Amino acid sequence: MNKTENNKAWFLVLPVFLLVAFSAVIPLMTVVNYSVQDIFDQNTAYFVGAEWYREVLQDPRLHDSLIRQFIFSGCVLLIEIPLGIAVALMMPTKGKAASLSLILLAIPLLIPWNVVGTIWQVFGREDIGLFGWALNSIGIDYNYASNPGDAWFTVLLMDVWHWTSLVALLCYSGLRAIPEAYYQAARIDRASKWAIFRYIQLPKLKSVLVIGILLRFMDSFMIYTEPFVLTGGGPGNSTTFLSQTLTKMAIGQFDLGPAAAFSLIYFLIVLLVSWLFFTSISHLDKSE
């Protein structure tokens, strides 16, 4: 679609611009200010330059949680995207069954994140939770509170439970946008199921998958509440992700300076990855 060139359109964007500037730019500037100072209270602060950045960059805690974070986000994407597509392909297409499964699938998305944590905290316990109890009674020694491997497994399972529905719903909508005529043509050609998926469904899913992957990457990279409630970052530090390290620093120890420097580094990482992803996708779109 051809768009007309019109700078008056800025007036329509102005409210958004002002609102986001108020709630994003001012805080961001403040974070930058904090990150170069040693702050004791409202009126006592010393300029320390890049000292906090140096401290944070050389802090092994940051390295560890950064690595954990990337592994976690990678796992989340690897599991949830294919599973979400599969669920979308299996969903009924018409009638009551379609809206019923739509509603049931959407439930996990609408549960407050700490309640999600609570649900799995209870569900995974070996004394009062069905899941932990079932695993233990079939002979698997499972305890997410003391075994790091189990804790990781539980956090991942919780995230899959929580968010695969989003991917599935997005893909479902993408699949619905494919005209029936395409499938009929494929049937006449005796196309295999894989060929239908590869050449009809997947290309149509591309745009929703982009959104799905971006949202899942960003949100899994910021995950805080659910593992905080479920495992509290433990056992040890095995499920302490970036946000949690940061929040501990900022609120728990009230180290404003290092926390602010950490925030900015965190933000830069997310910005870079998302930008790379965003540009490569829109670039692919153009070259086609």
Partner 1 sequence: MTSMTQNTASQTAGAGSTQQPKRFVLPANAKRRVNTQRRKNIGITAYILFVLVPIYWLLNMSFKSNEEILGGLTLWPQNFTLENYQVIFSDPSWYMGYVNSMTYVSLNVIITLMVALPAAYAFSRYKFTGDKHLFFWLLTNRMAPPAVFLLPFFQLYSSVGLFDTHLAVALAHCLFNVPLAVWILEGFMSGVPREIDETAYIDGYKFHTFFLKIFLPLIRSGIGVTAFFCFMFSWVELLLARTLTSVEAKPIAAIMTRTVGATGIDWGVLAAAGVLTIIPGLLVIWFVRNHVAKGFALGRV
Partner 2 sequence: MSWMAWTLPTAVFFSVIAAILVCMTVFELRSPCVERKGFLPIETTRGDRLFIGLLTSAYIHLMYVGLTDMTLWIALGISCVWLFIVMRWG
- Choosing from 19, 21, 29, 251, the residue that interacts with partner 2 (CB under 8 A) is 29
Site string for partner 1, 122-151 (x = CB under 8 A): xx---xxxxx-x------------------
Q: Check residue 280 for interaction with partner 1 (CB under 8 A).
A: no
- Cα 83 from chain centre: 15
Token duo for residue 57 = 């960059």
Dist CA 197 CA 203 (whole Å): 9
Q: Is 170 in the site for partner 1 (CB under 8 A)?
A: yes
Among 211, 213, 235, 238, binds partner 1 (CB under 8 A): 211
- Residue number, 14 or 57, with CB nearest to partner 2: 57
Picked from partner 1, partner 2, none, the partner binding residue 53 (CB below 5 to 8 A depending on kind) is partner 2
The CA distance from 16 to 191, in Å, is: 48
Selected binder of partner 2 within 18, 20, 33, 146 (CB under 8 A) = 33
Cα–Cα distance, 253 to 43 (Å, whole number): 19
Give the burial class of 120: count Cβ atoms within 10 A of its Cβ; 0-12 exposed, 13-18 middle, 19 or more buried.
buried
Which of 111, 128, 140, 272 touches partner 2 by CB under 8 A? 272
Q: Report d(CA 282, CA 94) in Å as an integer.
A: 33
How many CA atoms lie within 13 Å of 19's alpha carbon, on the beta-carbon side? 5
Residues in contact with partner 2 by the rule CB under 8 A: 7, 26, 29-30, 32-34, 36-37, 39, 42-43, 45, 47, 49-50, 53-54, 57-58, 265, 268, 271-272, 275, 279, 283
